[in-house]
């Protein structure tokens, strides 16, 4: 299988994003910081990565939380998964929030998120006056029960 080719500029001193294991779906993204960053409970921060990418048309990059960071420190990504569109050329920055009850510290080079590339389809609207019926109908938000 030929991997998807993504052009990248790395202005950080961190290594290029990499898959941690053979079966990893996401590439680890690292914080591009000059010094440790302290942030308060419920504080939101935008963390630079120093990375700029060019995604082929027909694909997106999804920025997702790292489970270990969320579980161990209560830090997760907002706007998750965040979409990086194929025509965006700015720096990849990660929106993090501290959901713990303690001040948390991020250090330069810490793995802060993961990036997954996905193929995307473009939709074309077809205006109609009626939709086909289904057994579920308009039921949503828990309408199918707990189990």
Output the six-digit token pair for 111: 């793995």
- Whether 127 is covered by a domain: the verdict is no
- Whether 43 is covered by a domain: the verdict is yes
- Beta-carbon neighbour count of residue 30 at 10 Å? 25
Answer with the residue of higher pLDDT: 142 or 56.
56
- Whether 21 is covered by a domain: the verdict is yes
CATH code of 90's domain: 2.70.40.10
- Whether 97 is covered by a domain: the verdict is yes
Output the six-digit token pair for 34: 């000059």
| Residue ranges making up the domain that contains 74 | 10-119
Q: State the chain's maximal CA–CA distance in angstroms.
A: 58
Per residue in 33-72, pLDDT (tens digit) is 999 999 999 999 999 999 999 999 999 999 999 999 999 9
Report the pLDDT value the prediction gives residue 135, as an integer from 0 to 100.
84
Q: Of 122, 71, 78, which is closest to residue 96 (Cα–Cα)?
A: 78
Assess contact for 36 and 147: CB atoms under 8 A. Answer: no
- Whether 136 is covered by a domain: the verdict is no
pLDDT band at 139 (very low <50, low <70, confident <90, very high): confident
Please provide the average confidence, as pLDDT, over all residues in the chain.
94
Per residue in 93-113, pLDDT (tens digit) is 999 999 999 999 999 999 999
User: Above 70 in pLDDT, residue 29?
Assistant: yes
- Whether 131 is covered by a domain: the verdict is no
- Whether 139 is covered by a domain: the verdict is no
């Amino acid at each position: 299988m030929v991997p998807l080719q993504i052009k990248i500029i790395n202005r950080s001193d961190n290594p290029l994003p990499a898959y941690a294991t053979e079966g990893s779906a996401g590439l680890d993204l690292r914080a591009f910081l000059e010094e440790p960053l302290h942030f308060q409970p419920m504080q939101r921060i935008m963390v630079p990565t120093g990375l700029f990418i060019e995604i082929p048309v027909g694909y997106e990059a999804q920025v997702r939380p790292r489970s270990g960071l969320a579980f161990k420190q209560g830090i997760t990504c907002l706007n998750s998964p965040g979409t990086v569109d194929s025509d965006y050329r700015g720096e990849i920055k990660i929106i993090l929030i501290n959901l713990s009850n303690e001040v948390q510290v991020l250090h330069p080079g810490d793995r802060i998120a993961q990036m997954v590339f996905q193929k995307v389809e473009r939709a074309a609207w077809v205006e109609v006056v009626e939709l086909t019926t289904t057994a579920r109908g308009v039921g949503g938000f828990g309408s199918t029960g707990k189990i």
